[in-house]
Structure 1
Amino acid sequence: MSYLPYVIGAYAVFVLVFLWDFLAPRLQVRRELRAARLRARRERKPAGPVDPAAELTR
């Protein structure tokens, strides 16, 4: 009786979970940094010249 397929499968699952634990936080940090940069760019970008009379015209 050989346990080789079981051992190979167990190691494969371990490697997959280990890689996910390694990559998932990095992907989340990258996504959050991108969102923060986009938010900062939106807040920094001027809305353009504001004409006080433009709001009241139809």
Structure 2
Amino acid sequence: MTYFKYVAMAYAVFFIVLAWDFIVPRLQIRQHLREVRNRAARAKRTAAAPVDEELSR
């Protein structure tokens, strides 16, 4: 009786978790950077819009 299947599955789970820990933070960083760029672009568009100080009816 060998434990090859058990050891192979343990290594497979280890590498899946290792890959998950490598990939997910990069995806989160990419998402946060995209949100910051969009927020900066939105702020720039808002600042560039002409502001009419006088109110009218």
Give TM-score, length-normalised by structure 1: 0.79
User: What residue in structure 2 maps to residue 39 of structure 1?
Assistant: 39
Higher helix share: 2
Separation of aligned partners in 1, 2:17 and 2:46: 45
Matched AA of 1:31:
Q
SS of 1:2's partner is coil
User: What residue in structure 1 maps to residue 16 of structure 2?
Assistant: 16
Quote how far apart the aligned CAs of 1:24 are: 1.2
Give TM-score, length-normalised by structure 2: 0.80
**Unaligned runs of at least 5 residues, structure 2:** none
**Unaligned runs of at least 5 residues, structure 1:** none
Separation of aligned partners in 1, 2:51 and 2:26: 41
Quote how far apart the aligned CAs of 1:38 are: 0.5
Separation of aligned partners in 2, 1:29 and 1:50: 35
RMSD: 1.6
Separation of aligned partners in 2, 1:21 and 1:46: 38
